[in-house]
Amino acid sequence: MELMSIGKFAKKVSVHPRTLRRMEVDGRLKPYYVSEGGTRYYSTEQLREFNQKSELKRIVVGYCRVSTPSQKDDLETQVENLKTYMYAKGYEFEIIKDVGSGINYKKKGLQQLIDKINNREVSKIVILYKDRLVQFGFELIEYLCEINSVEIEIVDHSEKSKEEELTDDLVQIITVFANRLYGSRSKKTKRLIDEVKSIDNREKD
């Protein structure tokens, strides 16, 4: 019987070693052998069982996002539409809701989703529109899903981004770069942001 270190085992099952240590603490998966120096080793049989259980536990996750708290009603509508779709498909699922810009990658819900992808807890991610996941960098999330055998299912492939959401995202991008170039208190930064907002207001009029 072959034994492998915690690092090698973690790589084979596509989880972080910290995850295995948490699983050891809560009794879900104990190392096959622990050396006197504290090095943890896992067996090939544990690897096979882990992969089998992981496949059985994988679920579908519906991800819903809006940009601001004022869009709470839009978020609930999005959730209900996604639920209706997934019930019709016969999926066993859970919903992750997020509030924040499509260019903010530190949103609580998005980070929770990425953790589930990395831990191979997800078989499929369902989103109403492509930009509900992220506004930019979709291909990176798509690659992360691909290497973890996670499918992304988009209900509607049409472009549905609201102009105000795109403007908010653009303002955030400009703010970040302007702050780096001129400083957060610079008049140039404020003037640049005000100009973007004024252009958007003129187009709406």
Domain ranges (residues) in the chain? 3-56, 58-154, 163-204
Which residues contact residue 77 at a Cβ distance below 8 angstroms, ignoring those fewer than 6 apart?
none
pLDDT block averages, 10 residues each, the chain of length 205: 92 83 89 94 92 74 92 93 94 93 88 89 92 87 88 82 58 65 66 64 51
Residue 101 annotated to the active site: no
Closest CA to 154 of 142, 166, 169: 142
pTM surpassing 0.85?
Answer: no
Question: What pLDDT is stored for residue 61 in this prediction?
Answer: 97
Question: What pLDDT is stored for residue 178 in this prediction?
Answer: 65
Question: What pLDDT is stored for residue 88 in this prediction?
Answer: 94
Strands 3-5 and 59-66: unpaired
Question: What pLDDT is stored for residue 35 in this prediction?
Answer: 94
CB atoms closer than 10 angstroms to residue 157: 8
d(CA 95, CA 68): 18
Question: What pLDDT is stored for residue 157 in this prediction?
Answer: 76
Strands 122-127 and 40-43: unpaired
Sign of torsion, CA 38 44 45 49?
positive
Question: What pLDDT is stored for residue 58 in this prediction?
Answer: 82
Closest CA to 134 of 114, 149, 117: 114
Element (H, E) at 127: strand 122-127
CB atoms closer than 10 angstroms to residue 57: 12
- 58-154: which CATH architecture? 3-Layer(aba) Sandwich (3.40)
Q: Which residue has the tokens 């972080």?
A: 16
- 163-204: which CATH architecture? Orthogonal Bundle (1.10)
What CATH number belongs to 3-56? 1.10.1660.10
Identified catalytic residue from 14, 54, 67, 186: 67
